[in-house]
Amino acid sequence: MATKTTTKKKKKLSVLKRVRQTEKNTLRNTAVKSKIKTYVKKFETVCLSKDREAIEKMLKETIKVLSSASSKGIIHKNTASRKISRLTLKANKVLTSAVETPAPIKSTETVTTEPTEILTENK
């Protein structure tokens, strides 16, 4: 009877390299996604303050972070565009509500729409 000998296969170097790359990319991706969430939360808290300069500055920084993540392929470009659009809409809504025009003052006098008589002298 023939005995079967088993030999242990070596792992290929390319497999090991892919494992290392995956670990490195996963760490980077989670860090960037966390950064995105942090910036969005900071932006929302700044919106509550209704400070125009702070809102514009934070919006600019948040858009930069989202665009960077999108270009690196960490988040999809449509996801980044959607988030940027919603943040911009929110900023515009807060800024326009902060600079509301005052309501027109209602007068206490009533305006009549009856025609007034014009006195004319007949000669």
Domains by residue range for the chain, with CATH: 17-98 (1.20.58.110)
Query: How large is the average pLDDT for residues 82-96?
Result: 95
pLDDT, the chain, mean: 87
Close Cβ partners of 62 (under 8 Å, ≥ 6 residues apart): 39, 40, 42, 43, 84, 87
| The Cα angle at residue 15 between residues 13 and 17, in degrees rounded to 5 | 70
Specify the pLDDT at position 7: 76
pTM (predicted TM-score): 0.67
Q: Which two tokens stand for residue 56?
A: 């514009």
- pLDDT of 86 reads 97
Confidence of residue 119 (pLDDT cuts 50, 70, 90): low
Of the pLDDT bands very low, low, confident and very high (cuts 50, 70, 90), residue 112 is low
